[in-house]
Chain A
Amino acid sequence: MKDNSYASVMARKNEIMKKAVGIDYSKYEIEGIAFDYEKMMDEVGYSLEEVIKIQSETSVGNTPLVELKQINRLVKTISPKSKGARIFLKDEGANPSGSFKDRRAAVSVYEAQKRGYKGVIAATSGNYGAAVASQAAKRGLKCIIVQETFDSRGKGQPEIVEKARACEAYGAEVIQLSVGPELFYYFLLLLEETGYFNASLYTPFGIAGVETLGSELNQQMIEKTGKSPDYVVVTNAGGGNLTGTTRGLQKTGADDTKIIAASVDLSGLHMASDTDFNRKSFTTGHTGFGIPFATFPDRSDVPRNAARALRYMDRYLIVTQGETFYVTELLSQLEGMQRGPAGNTSLCAAISLAKELDENETIVVQETEYTGAGKCPSAQLTFARENGIVVRTGDPKENNPGSEIVLPESPEQLHYTEMEMEKIKTSYIKQAVKKYGKKDFSETELAFMAKDLKLAKETVQEIIALLN
């Protein structure tokens, strides 16, 4: 009988993963930190044309691009003269299960079916679970979703409980766990037991799936405004949304578009802490995922992460929970579009950004997500209060993750905090030094890091030299 202790299962990780994703990652390894990212994307992923075909088979994509006319009117009233960029919103909530995650799931589930797997498994507490379950239903595959749902008191995040309901509605088996990173251990056990496909968010399939989001929005902007967007704002968590969207933009010629990441500030809350778990009022789109994944992408559930946000990111803007709830309400009240809060993180950053840009510039907010019981502002704020969080109106700068959610009194108070790119890139290098236990990286490794960080090789060397 197999030894299913934590240590033994973790030791079998690579063997289990190889069987469960059907990718031989060793083919792309070069040395140390370096691997051939583009070769992996080319050989394992699919071309834009192939992805369009795969997604059209299950009615994914081709979502509307909406000019936010009322919000833009508001932006004009709070911007200096001749400022106030026009904001457009890609309504990804119109996908079959209600989010852009259908794009990722469509390609992964297609791949699983093509390779003859009987079912798919995904470890996710977010919209991706519903997406995988929905795509599996469309292709007649079995589906298991593993979620981190409850704290040790058995209290579940309403947003996650709602996603469990959605997954079950699409015919998936939903396994709910208490807080902790050992979810991955149980996930490995399930992969081994069932022999199902690991529909990871971080394979080249998942990322190739998002490329159509970038290409579509570029096409739609050219049709509507005669040019590619000047800015695209992306809610950033694991980095796949940003990576895929930018690759799609670049593949369709939008080389000058600036890519702005946006996350909700959850600084100070530990993602693996049982007591912090229900002090979060957002379960995704926040810094608790955004920063660790940007600074060390290969922490994911596959040996090499195809989502590499710092390769594509130009700026990183941080907003607060209170502001994002406020903006969710604006979208609903001014545009007549009720969409889930977490996906509106990028809209929140876009409004503040638009105030500083010229009025002839354009911004695309590239996602929305479905909303409903559990995952709407009133549900999440009620839950916050039940967990001792103060919810009040005031200056959003006083917002304090895990203790106070401050909704702005006026739209003029909407703001962002700029995360310095240099700081975050330095943090990536620090992690690499720690992980690989050295400072003397080879030329090949330095070249890889330079590419991963959108920096000159010399700059990477300078940063390493300055580290203590």
Chain B
Amino acid sequence: MSEKAYKGQWVKIHNIILEPSQRAPGVPEDTQKCPLEMWLNGFLDQDEASLGEQVAIKTVIGRTVKGKLTEIEPKYDHSFGKPIMELLTIGPKVRAFIEKGDSNER
């Protein structure tokens, strides 16, 4: 059984805005093959719903928008990334570079 969301819960919905056949003329070929999609977060505006169902949400500014329930309590998953060796070595190298440069000038 799929996961359920309940009234007032923070959820994400998804909609197709334009099917590939409805896309604007002049859009690059690779983009033309895909639908124009949209995602929006809000509070579930019905008693309960399962993932994949058509639902209504109320957004933070009070608009009612309908769409397919795709995520319950969606979270931000962006981060500071992994350690990047190419970045980590910049500080020490450039400090040494400045010190050497200063002593050359003297």
> A residues near B, CB below 8 A?
5-6, 70, 73-74, 76-78, 119, 142-144, 149-150, 152, 156, 158, 161-162, 164-165, 168, 171-183, 185-186, 194, 270, 272-275, 325-326, 329-330, 332-334, 373-374, 376-383, 391-393, 407, 410-411
Contacts and interface: CB of A to CB of B under 8 A. Distances in A.
17 contacts: A77-B98, A77-B104, A158-B78, A161-B78, A162-B78, A174-B40, A175-B38, A176-B38, A176-B39, A177-B38, A177-B39, A178-B36, A179-B31, A182-B24, A272-B28, A332-B91, A379-B78
Given A73-B102, A378-B87, A182 B27 contact: yes
Contact of A334 (B17, B94, B104): B94
B101 A77 contact: yes
A378 B87 CA distance: 8
A77 B31 contact: no
Nearest to A156: B78
A3 B51 CA distance: 31
Given A6-B22, A173-B61, A333-B94, A381 B84 contact: yes
B30 interface: yes
A274 B80 contact: no
Contacts of B98: 70, 73-74, 77, 334
A119 B87 contact: no
Contacts of A149: 39
Given A77-B97, A373-B79, A175 B40 contact: yes
A186 B101 CA distance: 56
Given A74-B94, A168-B60, A173-B59, A161 B81 contact: no
Contacts of A165: 76, 78
Interface in B76-101: 76-84, 86-87, 89-91, 93-95, 97-98, 101
Interface string B2-21: 00000000000000011000
From A178, A181, A330, A332, residue with most partner B Cβ within 10 Å: A178
Given A142-B61, A325-B87, A382-B82, A5 B22 contact: yes
Contact of B102 (A5, A77, A179, A393): A77
A70 B102 CA distance: 12
A171 B78 contact: no
Interface residues of B, number: 47
A340 to B, nearest CB: 13
B64 to A, nearest CB: 11
A144 to B, nearest CB: 7
Contacts of B102: 73, 77
B87 to A, nearest CB: 5
The 8 closest A-B pairs by CB, nearest first: A77-B101, A382-B81, A374-B78, A333-B91, A379-B81, A378-B81, A152-B34, A142-B61
A411 B83 CA distance: 21
B61 A178 contact: no
A181 B90 contact: no
Contact of B63 (A6, A76, A194, A391): A194
B47 interface: no
A330 B89 CA distance: 11
A180 B31 contact: yes
Contacts of B31: 179-180, 272-274
A273 to B, nearest CB: 4
Nearest to A73: B98
From B38, B86, B89, residue with most partner A Cβ within 10 Å: B86
Contacts of B40: 173-176
A378 B80 contact: yes
A407 to B, nearest CB: 5
Contact of B27 (A70, A272, A374): A272
A329 B94 CA distance: 10
A383 B62 CA distance: 34
A143 B61 contact: yes
A329 B90 contact: yes
Given A180-B31, A181-B27, A378-B84, A150 B79 contact: no
Given A119-B61, A181-B24, A272-B27, A377 B84 contact: yes
Nearest to A376: B80
